[in-house]
Amino acid sequence: MWFVDFIKKFIEDSFFTLGSNVNTIEVTDVIIVFFWSIVLSVLIGITYRGTHRSISYSQNFTQTLVLLGIIIGTIMVIIGTDIARAFTLVGALSVVRFRNALKETRDIGFIFFVMAVGMACGIRFYIVGIMLTGVGCSLMYFMTYTKFGQKGLAQDILELDFPVSKDYAQILSPIFVRHLKYYTMLGIDSIDENTNRISFIVTFKQKTKLLSIKKGGGFIRESGSKVNLLSEVQKIPYISNVKVIEGSSSVEI
């Protein structure tokens, strides 16, 4: 019957014949690409988690690294040596827009890392992918535990809720200049239509507390730059939920 013939052809074309007659892909090739893409991407994800030292770690980003490796490997299998497919995929993927900004430059490095490994697996250069993963992961652990590139500045995270209608740079910059050695914006998250949650990476000035003589005799203790900054920010009525995060601990007002 035609229906039985149709089912047989459907199964054969779906599971046993991949690609055109000119460029046929074996099912075992796809399975091997998936296997090495998953294994090597998981190793990269474990390395990202193990070498991450700031408080902006994201489990979603780690899982995305693994998924990205598989996707890139699959795309390379689909493209093969067909130039027309390559241009078609470029055109299709160009319409994608991402709104979430990466908070750390090292995250961009890991994205390119897992993309390169996925490409190597997709074109069946498994040895290249394995060697790249081994060298890259080992290098990241080495630089993390030797603190390569560190300047010795203690950095904290300052978070606060700020109204959308006001210019945070104009209001906060004078306070930051007085009390901080270094600061840079980490990110802005929208809480509602009127309020944003702003995060900064900051390095405070002298943190030790000094003693000074009171007019009536005796001594008083002057607070360090962290307390002074929090005190000034707290006096601004429209700023709320001010928090300084020091690794695993935090100071909140």
Q: Which fold is adopted by the domain 156-252?
A: Alpha-Beta Plaits (3.30.70)
User: pLDDT at position 93, please?
Assistant: 62
Answer for the pair 67, 116: CB distance below 8 angstroms, yes or no.
no
In the chain, the N- to C-terminal Cα span, in Å, equals: 77
DSSP characters over 185-249:
EEEEEE-SSSEEEEEEEEEES--S-EEEE-TTSSEEEE--HHHHHHHHHHTSTT-EEEEEEETTE
CA distances from 23 to 77, 78, 130, 153 (A): 11, 10, 26, 56
User: pLDDT at position 103, please?
Assistant: 67
Closest to 133 in 3D by CA, of 143, 124, 120: 120
Could you tell me the residue ranges of all domains in the chain? Answer: 2-145, 156-252
pLDDT tens series, the chain, 253 aa: 667 776 776 666 666 555 554 456 677 888 899 999 999 999 999 999 999 877 677 888 899 999 999 999 988 888 876 766 676 666 666 656 655 666 677 888 999 999 999 999 988 899 999 999 999 999 999 998 887 776 656 678 888 898 888 888 888 888 888 888 888 888 888 888 888 888 888 888 765 444 444 444 444 444 577 788 888 888 888 888 888 876 544 444 4
Q: Which helix (H) or strand (E) holds 18?
A: strand 18-19
pTM check: above 0.75: no
User: pLDDT at position 67, please?
Assistant: 94
User: pLDDT at position 14, please?
Assistant: 61
Name the phi and psi angles at 96, rounded to 5. Answer: -80, 135
